[in-house]
Amino acid sequence: MILEIVSPEAKLFSGEVTSISVPGVDGRFQMLNNHAPIVSLLQKGTVNITTAHGFELNEETAKSFTKINDNNYTLEIASGTLELKDNKVIILAD
């Protein structure tokens, strides 16, 4: 599935991922390929991102992410909104 993470300052990430775990306001949840459409508010916490083929970030946005290993990264957010439709996830993060 495709993931885009956008903050007020910049587009932080855009690329193919295999799973995403986010801090929803009603609890943490995970999305995999072909997940049902969803819209959710996000609360302060960690977004976990897993890719199959590594993770490419530009120098400016790389400082926002924490590398766990070659295929797993995390991003701390204060709040946000998530929309998943047609295998594309868009996270508007603060």
Q: In the 3-class helix/strand/coil scheme, how is 9-57 assigned residue by residue?
A: CCEEEEEECCEEEEEECCEEEEEECCCCCEEEEECCEEEEEECCCCCCC
Q: What three-state secondary structure class fits 62?
A: helix
pLDDT in tens, 58-90: 788 888 999 999 899 999 999 999 999 999 999
Which pLDDT value is given to residue 58? 78
Measure the CA–CA gap between 80 and 40, rounded to whole angstroms: 9
Q: Is the pLDDT of residue 92 over 90?
A: yes
The pLDDT mean for the chain works out to 94
Measure the CA–CA gap between 5 and 12, rounded to whole angstroms: 5
Q: What is the CATH number of the domain that holds 81?
A: 2.60.15.10
Domain carrying residue 79: 2-93
